Amino acid sequence: MPDSPPLPLFAAVVVAAGKGLRAGQPVPKQFARWRGMPVVRHSVGALIDAGAQRVVVAIPEGAETVAGEALAGLAPVELVTGGATRQGSVRRALETLESRAPELVLIHDAARPALARPVIARLLAALAGSPGAIPVLPVVDSLAIDDHGMMGGAADREALRRVQTPQAFRFHDILAAHRAWSDEPTAGDDAQVLRAIGGTVALVEGDEALRKLTFAEDFVPQPSPIRTGMGFDVHRLAAGKELWLGGVLVPHDKGLAGHSDADVALHALVDALLGAIGDGDIGAHFPPSDPQWKGAHSARFVEHAAALVDTAGYRIANVDLTIICEMPKIGPHRDAMRTRIAALLAIDLGAVSVKATTTEGLGLTGRGEGIAAQAVATLVGKD
């Protein structure tokens, strides 16, 4: 299974200290529910999953309880009371990080919840040649200059870009820039703060999904999207090993060889879940080169994938697993496998299918050299 290159070490600041009144929610929009969970939890969870060593979240004064509930169970997360302006909030968060200063830091607006790992990777890579980097998108509409209600001229859209967050910086550069910034005028973003002291800012490709939640209609539940993922895996059989299939220890004279417990059925299931949310494969999340996963039970991988499905705003509708082998016979263990998988995914037993087939003596499975498995997972939106 191919490994994804590790991301550089980084810390993150999430700005969640605004009032968010235009969104028309009963609480500030960063704590309102969107796709099944509080808005701020989406991006904080994505940053942690991408490897953030520390995440400091700037929150409104007196919002410790609601913020704590929104981020419950996520670590390492620290809360800091924001300032009177966005710049003030970012500066306080950066100064919180200074005691164990990171080399790199991402600064992100909580109101942009759909944060994808590839955007983070592009930003961090760009910092190798610049003290700052921001994600941008092209302007696709024609632009006009408003001259007191009349068209006063056209702007060159080819030279313009739409700016998003997170924005990435070398930590000491952006901290120095914020300390040098006066309260007036108000900066539109942190890249402007860095440029004010002469720092350069690289542009990387953004993501259309990384839009900012602003108005009440942004929180109107959309028709539940349906996502489908497929997974396939194969491992060879070897003497002297336990045989784990579908989370169940199956009596057999051979077991599957691999870095973890080599549960080929659960590995295929993990890839199906990750595929449905477009988040890589099992090798990217649990690389076989990492010694911490040596001999690990694949149940941990399934629980991790299920948590990512939840973070992405989906729930598991059903999974369908097919195990391909000549021996052992799967029938006597099918119900135990279904029960175990249902428990790992926290779904009804009726939503789990486990089947078995042979290849009529053909190929590596037919010769008894290994076992293969394929899985399909169907997800639906939680809203």
pLDDT at 1: 36
Distance between CA atoms of 281 and 279, rounded to whole angstroms?
Answer: 7
- The continuous run of DSSP H or E covering 87 comes out as helix 86-97
Distance between CA atoms of 335 and 343, rounded to whole angstroms?
Answer: 12
> Which of 5-14, 219-228, 365-374 is predicted with the least confidence, judged by mean pLDDT?
219-228
> How confident is the model over 50-54, as a mean pLDDT?
95
Q: Kindly tell me if the per-residue pLDDT of 383 is higher than 70.
A: no
CA 162 to chain centroid, in Å, comes to 23
pLDDT at 23: 47
Residue 243's Cβ-count burial label (10 Å; 0-12, 13-18, 19+) is buried
**pLDDT for 56-91, tens place per residue?**
999 999 999 999 999 999 989 999 999 989 999 999
Residue 324's Cβ-count burial label (10 Å; 0-12, 13-18, 19+) is buried
**pLDDT for 247-292, tens place per residue?**
999 999 998 988 889 999 999 999 999 999 999 899 888 887 777 7
Which residues, other chains included, contact 124 with Cβ-Cβ below 8 Å and sequence gap of 6+?
7, 8, 10, 104, 106, 168
Distance between CA atoms of 53 and 76, rounded to whole angstroms?
Answer: 7
**pLDDT for 329-343, tens place per residue?**
999 999 999 999 999
Q: Which residue has the tokens 């993922």?
A: 229
Q: Which residue has the tokens 């961090």?
A: 124
Average pLDDT of the chain is: 91
Domains and CATH numbers, the chain: 11-219 (3.90.550.10), 226-381 (3.30.1330.50)
Distance between CA atoms of 136 and 142, rounded to whole angstroms?
Answer: 17
**pLDDT for 196-252, tens place per residue?**
999 999 999 999 999 999 888 887 766 568 999 999 999 999 998 999 999 999 999
Q: Is there a contact between 167 and 132 (Cβ–Cβ < 8 Å)? A: yes
Q: Is there a contact between 60 and 253 (Cβ–Cβ < 8 Å)? A: no
Predicted TM-score of the model (pTM): 0.61
> How confident is the model over 135-144, as a mean pLDDT?
92
pLDDT at 25: 59
pLDDT confidence tier of residue 2, bands split at 50, 70 and 90: very low
**pLDDT for 15-49, tens place per residue?**
999 875 554 455 788 999 888 899 999 999 999 99
pLDDT above 90 as % of the chain: 73
Q: Kindly tell me if the per-residue pLDDT of 5 is higher than 50.
A: yes
Distance between CA atoms of 372 and 362, rounded to whole angstroms?
Answer: 13
pLDDT at 66: 94
